[in-house]
Amino acid sequence: WISYCTIESFGSIGVSLFWAFCNSAMNLEQAKSAYGLIVAGAQVGAICGPTVVTTLAESAGVPTCYFMGALCMACMCGMVYMYTNKFGIQDESTGDNGGKKKSKGGVLEGIKLFVEHNYVKGIFFISCFFMIEVTILDYSMKILAKNEFDAEYPGDSIAATKAFAAFMGRFGQATNTLSFSFSLLGTSFIIRRLGLNYTIIAFPTCCFAAICGVYMVPNLWTVFCAMLLLKGFSYSLNNPCKEILYQVTSKGTKFKAKSWIDVFGARGSKAAGSIVTNAFSDSATDLLTYGAYVAMGVSSFLIYVAWQMGKMFDEYIATGYIVGEEAPSAEELAKQAQLEGDTSLGIEEEGQTEDEQQVKV
């Protein structure tokens, strides 16, 4: 139990901090080129990890597998340390501040940024709301698979459990393979070719089409294909796009608001999806029917949000506006104007006589 909670907590916080680090270390053009490749590398880990455990769990033992996982985490920390030493990262806290110290944010700073900025709300919706659909379809798929294998192996719960495990294993392999292939070959190309404002709409549109397919043909393999699309493209398409959206936000937003969105927002969206599945858990038919209505509504809302976010992103890139950046105070503006207004430092200006210069002084 302790191990499960620890790993789940690390998975929520560690991934969020990694992407925050990437957003602070890369500019927009680098993000468009590299984020797809980064996701592809993550999918290699998602494929290799279960494969190593499946191969070594019985022969080497579970503690050995745990040690290998911990060693990978130690290597990751070392790689981040070497990267920052060699290349550095963008540090928004340095520079001419007029000697003013930036205020330190409290534990509710992420929520404050969320409330104050509609752009941050949009990132929240794009990052988390699709998980309502994933939760509904995931539960539906598992219920349908369990019913099918129980009917295929009546009275033999062990065989049915093994068949269900094999089914979920094939699902994991297919999802990670699709995500890896698309991330490696298609993500960066599509973002550069179409631009973020069109690419970000693609994922909720794909979700809407998949949900419509489930509603029209409500069986196990249709739900399997829909889940394959949602999970695969959420990793390879939606994740890179929503991380690029942070490029026009302040450093505080990238860390404080992002952490709150990825940890609490994601869990809240899964809880909302669980409310739907619990309400219709007695009937797989009702779950697929009414769950599809909810999922189609969520997809339609996300298409609208993605369209608006694409327009806002392009506008902020063009104007140089940074979301969440503190506006300078009146005192700072007056000091800056004073510094910019008097740059002569008593030097004789061109075309002025010595007498004029003395009068000016």
CB 334, CB 270: distance < 8 Å:
no
The pLDDT-based confidence of 93 (bands split at 50, 70, 90) is very low
pLDDT at 30: 72
Distance separating alpha carbons of residues 180 and 86, to the nearest angstrom: 28
CB 220 within 8 A of CB 148: yes
End-to-end, the C-alpha distance of the chain in Å comes to 78
* pLDDT at residue 326 tops 50: yes
How confident is the model over 148-183, as pLDDT tens digits?
Answer: 888 888 878 888 877 887 787 778 778 878 877 777
Give the DSSP H or E segment for 42. helix 28-56
Q: pLDDT value at position 91?
A: 52
**Of all helices (H) and strands (E), which one includes residue 243?**
helix 239-244
Q: Which two tokens stand for residue 195?
A: 């631009």
Residue 242 pLDDT greater than 50, yes or no: yes
CB burial class (10 A; 0-12, 13-18, 19+) of residue 177? middle
The model's pLDDT over 245-287, given as tens digits with 9 standing for 90+, comes to 888 888 778 777 877 887 778 788 888 988 999 988 888 888 8
- What is the rounded average pLDDT for all residues in the chain? 78
pLDDT (0 to 100) of residue 119 = 92
How is 303-316 classified by DSSP, letter by letter? Answer: HHHHHHHHHHHHHH
Kindly report, residue by residue over 17-59, the tens digit of the pLDDT.
Answer: 777 777 677 776 777 667 777 777 777 777 777 677 666 665 7
What pLDDT does 15 receive? 72
328 in Cβ contact with 102 (< 8 Å): no
Residue 10 binned pLDDT confidence (cut-offs 50, 70, 90)? confident
Neighbours of 149 (CB within 10 A): 21
Q: Please tell me the pTM assigned to this model.
A: 0.70
**CA torsion angle 204 205 209 215 (round to 10):** 40
Q: Is the pLDDT of residue 127 over 70?
A: yes
- Cβ within 8 Å of residue 137, ≥6 positions away: 211, 214, 223, 226, 227, 230, 291, 295
Residue 190, amino acid? I
